[in-house]
Amino acid sequence: MKKYVISIAIILVIVSYIISQKLTTNTSASANIPTNNTNTSATDKTSNNGGSSSGNKSKSGIYNDGSYIGSVADAFYGNIQVKAVIKSGKITDVQFLQYPNDRGNSIEINSYAMPILTQEAIRAQSSKVDIVSGATDTSAAFIQSLESALNKAKI
C-alpha cells in the first residue's frame, strides 16, 4: 500500500512538473508574440523592405549572450552610446544609453489628447526632388558605438 502511495505521489509530481513546464513555455512564448498595436487594417508591410537589406545577418552563434555597452561616440549634437543585447547569439535589442538632447527614457507624457491619425505603410516615391529631409547627423556615431559593443560580444 505504501508503495502505491509513493508511486502515485511521484507520478503526480512528474505530471505537475510537466504541466508547469508547459505553462511557463507558453507564457514565455506568448511574450514574444508581437502585439499588434498599430490598429491599422490594410497595411502592406512588404513595401518597406526595399532597403532594409543586409542588416540582420547576425548568424546564430557569432555573439555571446548578454548586454554589451558600446563606446561613447561623438555626434555633432552630443554623444551617442548604445547597449546591444544579445540572446541566442542574435542581436535582440539596441538601446540608447546616451543620445543628444536627452532623448529617451525619463519622463512619461500623457497629457496630450489622442486623436485618431491616419496611418499607412511607407512606399518609395519616384518623383525627383530638390532637397531631402532626413535624420543623418547621428548615424556615423551610432555605428561606431554599436560596432564597439558588438566587438565585445564576439565569441
Partner 1 sequence: MKETRLMMGMPITIEVVDKNITHKDFNDIWKYFDYVDQKFSTYKDESEISKINNKSLKSEDYSSDMKLVLKLCDQTKDLTNGYFNINKNGYLDPSGLVKGWAIYNAANILKEKGFRNFYIDAGGDIQTYGNNSKGEGWKIGIRNPFNREENVKVLKLSNVGIATSGTAIRGQHIYNPKKLNMELNEIVSLTVIGPNVYEADRFATPAFAMQRNGINFIENLKGFEGYMIDSKGITTFTSGFNKYVE
Least gap, CB of 18 to partner 1 (angstroms) = 29
Pick 90 or 152: Cβ nearer partner 1: 90
| Nearer to partner 1 (CB atom), residue 7 or residue 119 | 119
Residue 54's identity, in one-letter code, is S
Comparison of 17 and 77: residue with beta carbon closer to partner 1:
77
Binding-site ranges for partner 1 (CB under 8 A):
34-35, 37-38, 40, 43, 45-56, 74, 76-78, 90-94, 100-104, 107, 109-115, 117-125, 127-139, 142-143, 146
| Residue whose C-alpha cell is 557569432 | 62
Asked if 63 and 89 count as a contact pair (C-beta separation under 8 A), the reply is yes
Which CB sits closer to partner 1, 4 or 112? 112
Rounded to 5 degrees, what are φ and ψ at 76? -60, -35
Q: Tell me how far, at minimum, the Cβ of 15 lies from partner 1, in Å.
A: 34
137 phi/psi in degrees, rounded to 5: -60, -35
- Residue 80, all three cell numbers: 551617442
Q: Cβ of residue 61: shortest distance to partner 1, in angstroms? A: 16
Minimum distance between the CB of residue 126 and partner 1, rounded to whole angstroms?
A: 9
Of 68, 60, 72, 98, nearest in space to 84 by CA: 68
Choose between 1 and 118: whose C-beta lies nearer to partner 1: 118
Which residue in 136, 134, 149, 151 sits closest to 81, CA to CA? 149
Question: In the bound complex, what is the minimum distance in angstroms from residue 5's beta carbon to partner 1?
Answer: 48
Residue 140's nearest CA partner among 93, 73, 94 is 73
